[in-house]
Amino acid sequence: MSSSSRRSVLAGGAAGVGFAVTGAMPSLAQATPNDNASDRAKERAGRGVVAFPPLQDDPAGLLALPAGFSYAVVTRAGVTRLDEGQLTPNAHDGTAVFTTGRGRYRLIQNHELKAGSALGVPHIEGTVYDEGAIDAGGCTVISTDSKGRNLGEYVGISGTSTNCAGGPTPWGTWLTCEETEDRAGKSWSGNGKSGTYLKDHGYVFEVFHDGRANAKPIKAFGRYAHEALAIDKARKHVFLSEDASGPNGLFYRWTAPAGFEMGPNLADRLADDAGVLAAMQIIMPDGSVLPDVAYLTSAQMGLPFPVQWKQVPDRDAKTTSVRKQFTDGEVTRGKKFEGVWGTDEGVYVVNSFAFSSSDLPADAVPHDGMVWFYNYKAETIQLVAYFPHQATAASGAAAKYDDLTFDGPDNVTVTPWGSLVLAEDGAGASQVLSATPYGPAQAIARNQLNDSEFTGPTFSEDGKVLFVNMQTPGLTFAITGPWEKYLG
């Protein structure tokens, strides 16, 4: 599809759909939710949004919050300790929260670390996947309550690498994703240590919060630079994102074998080649495949595009990375497919940004973030949030970002009231955003310590606590306040 014909098809398909930014509450969209949108998204768009109070500086210099909200530090890398005695690992990332009764919760938390890290996840017997991945990534399990007290932390899985995000399961476990393609035999060194990976990496693992451990990869989901995932309501599909470049990554769907219903212990119940792993194809009005999501802009907000799925030839990437097994234009690529979160109607998926020449295909449009919604029943995808690129086009100067410029959405979660919370990993101040599909976004927390990204936002089921991490220096926060007043 030529550049001129692509522009013509896109321009003709979404007349009247626009974008605006107003003051300190940038509007993500002024589109009317399509019939294929999430029911909760349509409901919230019709109700309007209650503005959070302005953020107030934190005397401790950690976290600016709106008036009426407060935080507690649950874990701090290198300061708090594991039940096994070692220090809490660093690089907190994707996190899930589970209610355990009596006002208490358990968090399962990723640590995005390669082997040889200064504060890696220690190898604990029964939790180790790769004995060669020393002081690498993994997951810890944290006990806490609505006051954010640290009631203990232990290792759930170790010997994995670069555990980025993942997704909670309907049966109460966590699927942790390795964002790497490192192979067995690769050497590593760091912090005075060196070694060799003994197993391939780039898999998904299931992690439990009840003391069980199973350090066995779910190879059926493929081996690539996994970011996050979500399971559909019927437990028949898993939707998975890939954060990769050269070429840009893909959005995948794994379909369970006929008659198989997903549940605990997937690694033991699924053969390595079970089900079908396929990559997303966004179909344009002329029947062609959209080559990259960056060709769509705010002009296509709310417009549902049909989606088809192209089967992956070799999901274990024995000789060729999965995304490189497709030619350009055969599937729909995207720079930094990141956060994924499922609802009863569909799944949200985020692209963090694409603005450099290495991020974008020819004549695509730079952007500072996109949020998509894939509808299970309709098998369509639509753009529900768009962050325009902030570079000064006239002078070619570098982009200018300040505390009121939102950019680089990464992890995403859906609140108990149906709105979104996005964690920024952008160029300006790092913030946690409350966002309404087809509506405005506003900052609900700001990093006052450094420029580290926020990760792993997740609400307790009762809506009392928002847990979120500051990746560096490795902090887990429990944020409380009148959430329902502003999100309900």
Give pLDDT tens digits for 183-229. Answer: 999 999 999 999 999 999 999 999 999 999 999 999 999 999 999 99
Residue closest to 366 by CA, chosen among 295, 302, 299, 430: 295
Which token pair is 261?
Answer: 């219903």
C-alpha distances in Å from residue 274, one per residue of 226, 270, 356, 444: 18, 6, 38, 42
Q: CA 263 to CA 117: how far, in whole Å? A: 33
Beta strands in 295-430 (DSSP E): 305-311, 337-342, 346-351, 367-375, 380-388, 409-414, 420-424
Torsion of CA 10, 11, 13, 18, to 10 degrees: 110
DSSP state of 163: E
Domain ranges in the chain are: 3-261+270-317+327-392+405-487
Helix (H) or strand (E) holding 168: strand 163-168
Mean pLDDT computed over every residue of the chain: 90
pLDDT at residue 43, as a whole number: 60
Which token pair is 397?
Answer: 């100067």
Q: Which residues contact 463 (CB under 8 A, 6 or more apart)?
A: 415, 416, 417, 483, 484, 487, 488
* Total residue length of the chain: 488
> Whole-structure pTM over 0.95, yes or no?
no
pLDDT at residue 488, as a whole number: 82
Residue 151: CB atoms within 10 A of its CB come to: 12
Q: CA 107 to CA 80: how far, in whole Å? A: 15
Give the CATH H-level superfamily of domain 3-261+270-317+327-392+405-487: TolB, C-terminal domain (2.120.10.30)
pLDDT at residue 404, as a whole number: 72
Residue 277's identity, in one-letter code, is L
Q: Which residues contact 43 (CB under 8 A, 6 or more apart)?
A: 418
**10-residue averages of pLDDT along the chain (488 residues):** 49 32 35 54 61 96 97 98 98 98 96 98 98 98 98 98 98 98 98 97 98 97 98 97 96 97 97 98 97 95 97 98 96 97 97 92 93 97 93 49 81 96 91 90 95 97 97 98 94
Q: Which class for 67: exposed (0-12), middle (13-18), buried (19 or more C-beta within 10 A)?
A: exposed
